[in-house]
Amino acid sequence: MQLITLNKSLFIGILLICIIPINVKGQKNITKTINTIDSLVNNSLSKDIGVVPAPVFNPTFGTGIAVVPMAVYKHKKFTPETNPSISQGILYTNLAGSYIAGAKQTTYLNRNRFWMDAYVGYASMKYRFYDFYYNPDNDYTDIRFKGFVSNISVLALVTKYFYVGPIFSSNYIQTEIKSNNTISDYEWFNTPGVRCSYDSRDDIFYPVKGWLGSLSYTKLFDTKLNHYQFDKINLGISNYYSLNDNMVWANRVYTQLGYGTIPIHEMASPGASPILRGYSTGNYINSSIVTLQSEFRWMFAKRWGCVGFGGYGWLFDQPNQISDNISLPSVGGGLRYRIFPAFKINMACDIAFGRNSHSFIFSLSESF
């Protein structure tokens, strides 16, 4: 929406320069035309715009603040069943000297026949990893990633609810590991893949019934650009049941199976909210993970709600080593505030407890 405003202002400025030598009557006609254009731009979109500050309390990242500008909009000429599009930014910094700047776009077109997700950004992130892979004695390792990150998926509807399409990520990253005083050169990680999705949800932001499933396969080839080679399979399945007008029971299964030599930033970690809450990213990492979650959601007022959730996970290396795993319990609860009522988007504040760990999570949208 900011882009629309900037482009409109530039266009109006050019028109004003052009009408300086025109007589008063002509200026009135052009002014009327400009007002008509302005009305067309504003009235053609159904939109909600907001900026949300999100404090971060995370022993791995450090204490910081994120600012999340977000625009949710739908062209009024689109059919009612076409999902709204989302433009989202993120600006993050913390006391440890980490920072992120990025933008994410989700777009639906032609009655949801096409579904695109894209992200691009730059990050310099310092993590404190408590990882047995690099530290068998369970001591922590300070690791810093910095560089450019981008990914895109373009899916097409092939039959009712079922999408298929290519995915691609391109990352240019330098890794610094304090425990052995190594700093890598900047390396390219270009990872192509394919994704299949099933989506029968009644709403993309706050579903009360339906299913969402996603299966993806990605591969990184060993090239002169880096010394890694891996195959990765990701599977996520969520379902939603309406208990009454205000209560929803939601469940999710998530799995990542990693094969080969996987760089740290591609490994599985339970700290990411959709995977398993109650953990800081880096407390536990490995190539593969299996998680289960169940959540009760209750909107007890027009704009206020609460949730309670529990889950369990297993973290391991290669899939043939699943018996040699670390168990990861999770339990917690939180509050919801409906910041965008027109699109049923909630601002979430959760506290969760895991294995010798806890986390506070602020986000725009539900966890899954």
Q: Is the domain of 281 the same as that of 314?
A: yes
pLDDT one-digit tens code per residue, 304-351: 999 999 999 999 988 888 888 889 999 999 999 998 888 888 988 899
95 lies in the same domain as 172: yes
- Looking at the structure, tell me whether residues 27 and 116 fall in a common domain: no
Residues 160 and 246 grouped into a single domain? yes
Do 215 and 172 lie in one domain? The reply is yes
What burial letters (b/e) apply to 259-286, b meaning 16+ CB within 10 Å?
beebbbbbbbbbbebebbbbbbbbbbbb
Are the CB atoms for 191 and 219 separated by under 8 Å? yes
CB 291 within 8 A of CB 313: yes
* Closest CA relative to residue 354, chosen from 286, 287, 241, 269: 269
The SS3 assignment for 233 reads: strand
Residue 246's pLDDT is what? Answer: 93
pTM score of the predicted model: 0.79
d(CA 195, CA 324): 29
Residue 145, C-beta contacts closer than 8 angstroms, at least 6 positions apart: 123, 124, 125, 127, 173, 174, 175, 176, 264, 265
Q: What is the pLDDT of residue 232?
A: 94
For residues 164 and 93, membership in a common domain is answered with yes
Residue 63 domain boundaries: 50-364
158-207 pLDDT, tens digit per residue, is 999 999 999 999 999 888 877 667 777 788 888 999 999 999 999 999 99
Lookup: tokens for 159: 């039959």
158: Cα separation from own chain's centroid: 25
Which pLDDT band, with edges at 50, 70 and 90, does 138 fall under?
A: low
- 265 and 348 together in one domain: yes
Judged on CB neighbours under 10 Å (0-12, 13-18, 19+), 136 is exposed
Structure tokens at 266: 């591609």
Count other C-beta atoms under 10 Å from residue 10's C-beta: 10
The better pLDDT of the pair 219, 12 is held by 219
24-43 and 2-18 helices, crossing angle to 10°? 170
State yes or no: pLDDT of 134 exceeds 60. no
**Are 132 and 26 within one domain?**
no
Task: Tell me the CATH number at 62.
Answer: 2.40.160.50
Provide the pLDDT for residue 179. Answer: 65
Q: Is the pLDDT of residue 277 over 80?
A: yes
Please tell me whether residues 9 and 94 are part of one structural domain: no
| pLDDT score recorded for residue 33 | 40
Region for 3 from its dihedrals, namely left if φ exceeds 0, alpha if ψ lies in -120 to 50, beta otherwise: alpha
Burial of 296 (C-beta count, 10 Å sphere; 0-12/13-18/19+): middle
User: What pLDDT does 155 receive?
Assistant: 96
- Flag whether pLDDT at 238 surpasses 90: yes
How much is the mean pLDDT over the chain?
Answer: 80
* 263 & 287 share domain: yes
Count of structural domains within the chain: 2
226, 127: one domain: yes
What pLDDT digit, counting tens, does each position of 22-78 carry? 343 444 444 444 343 344 334 444 566 766 666 766 655 667 788 888 888 877 666
Residues 280 and 243 in one domain: yes
Examine the pLDDT at 10 and tell me if it is beyond 50. no
Percent of the chain residues topping a pLDDT of 70? 76
